[in-house]
Amino acid sequence: MRLLSRSARQCSSGGGEVLLRLAQCVPFLIVLLGLGIELSPGHMVYTGPLITAMPALASLTMGPKGTLAAAAGALAVSMISGTLHGAWRGEQVYSNLAGLFVVSLASVTLSRTMQARRQSELDQIRRIAAAAQSVLLRPVPARLGPVRAASMYLAAETGAQIGGDLYEAVQTRYGVRMIVGDVRGKGLPAVRAAAAVLGAFREAAHYDEDLREVMNHCSAALRRESAVEEAAGAEQEGECFVTAVVAQVPDGSVVEVVNRGHPPPMLLRRGRVQALVPGSPEPPLGLEDLVAGPPAEPERYPFLPGDRLLLHTDGVIEARNSANDFFALPEHMESARHARTPREFLEQLHQSLVVHTEDRLVDDVAMVAVDRIG
């Protein structure tokens, strides 16, 4: 279901880009059509008035450079027409050239103004997104009890800094607790769902001893948020659910994990990577009604001093290159095993993702890395 939804969004985005490209080609196609008419043996139509409007048409979909290119093309056709048909002796060609100059100047000025306004609006959106990110997805502390930690969030949406992925790491009386999750969907509904889950985790992590209860509080918060969205008449693409994994690092040399339909955490020990795959798969948050029976117990794995644990979203492992190959996370983790800190480790993974995808992510990425030091 999630993959189908993502494919639909990509197709929708790709269709909009194709329409924009076609609209940008229209002024140049009309200029070429005018040139063909002027060069045809049966020339009977004067294309000057039509050609004069092309810079204005180009300014609607292109910046100053594109508008200037359309103006240059229109000028070339007008000059060719005047030369071939002896129009230089009349006044019409000069009036059309003057009109072309005025329209071109106005179109370039308008295009430059619109571009500056769009850039200003985009900068404002980015500032708002950065402020929201500092509240919703704040960086995890560099040191939490027996671990060193770091976090990273990469949004796939152009100009955006937050989306449907979430993460958090807090130190509690039960140990260091972490969550990484992925909301089905994009846009504001996904952000609100992520905020509901994160808020519930930050509260329950300090008061519920059982990791399963922490997850239950997150699920209940998600259901309340979905009910509010439905009551408000907000459009939703199917059921709202969140894949999530919660990990706890207590004082002992272990890590406890509850996984609700999320990619398994990856454990790096002595240069080798192990996926902490759950023995009993659990449904994502919000889809508990689809599975009968009590929830599984938290699973325990050795987590020794010198080990490194990575929690991540599927935007990492589903990132593809131009050959449609998935990102080989275990191999890249092993290549980055010499990174001294979790922050350097995540930066190296980020660079590997950039190279693999040619800096074109199609899904958001959230990662939390922790090193056991004591």
Give me the pLDDT at residue 15, please: 56
Bridge partners, 273 (sequence order): 268
Percent of the chain whose pLDDT exceeds 70: 81
Indicate the residue among 110, 129, 148 that finishes a domain: 129
Q: Evaluate if residue 2 carries a pLDDT over 50.
A: no
Same domain for 103 and 196? no
Q: Where are the beta strands (DSSP E) in the chain?
A: 143-144, 147-154, 165-172, 175-183, 242-249, 254-260, 266-269, 272-275, 299-302, 308-312, 365-372
> How many domains are there within the chain?
2
Bridge partners, 254 (sequence order): 302
Q: How confident is the model at residue 13 (pLDDT cuts 50, 70, 90)?
A: very low
Average pLDDT over residues 214-224: 93
Backbone angles phi, psi at 145, to 5 degrees: 55, -120
Residue 355, amino acid = V
Average pLDDT over residues 305-334: 95
Written as one string, the DSSP assignment of 241-290 is -EEEEEEEE-SSSEEEEEEES-PPPEEEETTEEEE---SS--PPBT-GGG
Greater confidence (269 vs 38) lies with 269
Same domain for 117 and 147? no
Average pLDDT over residues 109-136: 76
Same domain for 286 and 330? yes
Average pLDDT over residues 340-356: 96
Q: Which CATH number fits the domain that encloses residue 144?
A: 3.60.40.10
- Return the closest-CA partner of residue 185 out of 2, 369, 368, 372: 2
CB 217 within 8 A of CB 182: no
Same domain for 282 and 162? yes
Q: How confident is the model at residue 9 (pLDDT cuts 50, 70, 90)?
A: very low
Same domain for 115 and 187? no
118 membership: H or E segment, kind and range: helix 92-136
87: containing domain: 2-129
Give me the pLDDT at residue 85, please: 61
Same domain for 316 and 333? yes
Give me the pLDDT at residue 276, please: 96
Same domain for 313 and 165? yes
Q: Evaluate if residue 42 carries a pLDDT over 70.
A: no
- Return the closest-CA partner of residue 23 out of 66, 77, 75, 82: 66
Per residue in 132-160, pLDDT tens?
A: 666 678 889 999 999 999 999 987 755 44
Global pTM value: 0.69
Same domain for 27 and 125? yes
Indicate the residue among 101, 129, 157 that finishes a domain: 129
State how far the Cα of 173 lies from the Cα of 207, in Å rounded to an integer: 9
State how far the Cα of 73 lies from the Cα of 321, in Å rounded to an integer: 38
Indicate the residue among 112, 129, 146 that finishes a domain: 129
Give me the pLDDT at residue 68, please: 86
Q: Evaluate if residue 330 carries a pLDDT over 80.
A: yes
Our CA dihedral for 312, 180, 308, 299, rounded to 10 degrees, sits at -110
Side by side, the strands of the sheet bearing 165-172 are 165-172, 175-183, 242-249, 254-260, 299-302
Give me the pLDDT at residue 23, please: 77
Structure-block tokens of residue 237: 């693409």
Same domain for 49 and 164? no
Same domain for 32 and 178? no
Average pLDDT over residues 195-201: 94
